[in-house]
Amino acid sequence: MNHRTALITGASRGIGRACALALAATGCRVALAARSREKLEEVAEEIRRTGGEAFAVEIDLSRPESIAAGITKTAREFGRIDILVNNAGITKDALAVRMKQADWEIVLDTNLSGPFFAIQQVLPAMMRERWGRIINISSVVAEMGNPGQANYVAAKAGLIGLTKSLAQEVGSRNITVNAVAPGFIETDMTHGLTPELKQAMIERTPLRRAGKAEEVASAVRFLASDEAGFITGHVLDVNGGMYM
């Protein structure tokens, strides 16, 4: 049983929820963050029913002051945060020529700046303790590009650059910083896609199926563990071979 505390953003559904359940199963206390408290409480209840400890906290990742307040509240509740999983993300798709400035900015703010400010908040305690795990959820499109998603792709690619720079900055303090880049995963976010588009994505995937949120969570759980202590600055692809 470990006594580490993990904070997962975007934890109310999909990959974030799966990460929260996976880390709780290893004995971590989990802080669940998202904009809607109601959905978070459902996940927290699920974790408590299996004997785990969970705490729900509202955080709007597009607002640095919301991130600071939420992380302060979590630290008061659970002590320091040992593991940060930057998973929350939004999409506002449009071709670049027609993309509105507001849609560019909110996606960059939520998907790239938000994770950076969250990292800034948890780093001092990790550095004092000389132990930490930062895991950024990027995307296969960060590596291969995707038409109609210039904002999302730029943000997710930015997360990979951030991961590598940070890994070099904090490695001497025994803090690892890694990214997980999921491919086509069956979640609420992809639920709305047309059957044709889903089929096209599956055909581009050598394993010929969509991934499960739990398969991404397994990679996160590994990177958060002591077993992954000598892995840092790495991008772990969980994409069924869609990009190699």
Give the residue extent of every domain in the chain: 5-238
- E-state strands within 149-219: 175-182, 185-186, 211-212
According to CATH, the topology of domain 5-238 is Rossmann fold (3.40.50)
**Per-residue confidence (pLDDT) for residue 179, from 0 to 100:** 98
Q: Is-contact 57 68, C-beta < 8 A?
A: no
Task: Select from 227, 228, 224 the least CA-distant residue to 85.
Answer: 224
**Per-residue confidence (pLDDT) for residue 1, from 0 to 100:** 55
Low-confidence ranges of the chain (pLDDT < 50): none
Backbone angles phi, psi at 148, to 5 degrees: 85, 0
pLDDT tens, 179-209? Answer: 999 999 998 878 888 899 899 999 999 999 9
Backbone angles phi, psi at 28, to 5 degrees: -70, 145
85 to 12, 34, 98, 242: CA distances (angstroms): 13, 12, 32, 23
Q: Any idea which residues carry the catalytic annotation?
A: 152
Between strands 29-34 and 54-58, the pairing is parallel
**Per-residue confidence (pLDDT) for residue 3, from 0 to 100:** 84
CB atoms within 10 A of CB 77: 13
Tokens found for residue 186:
């069956």
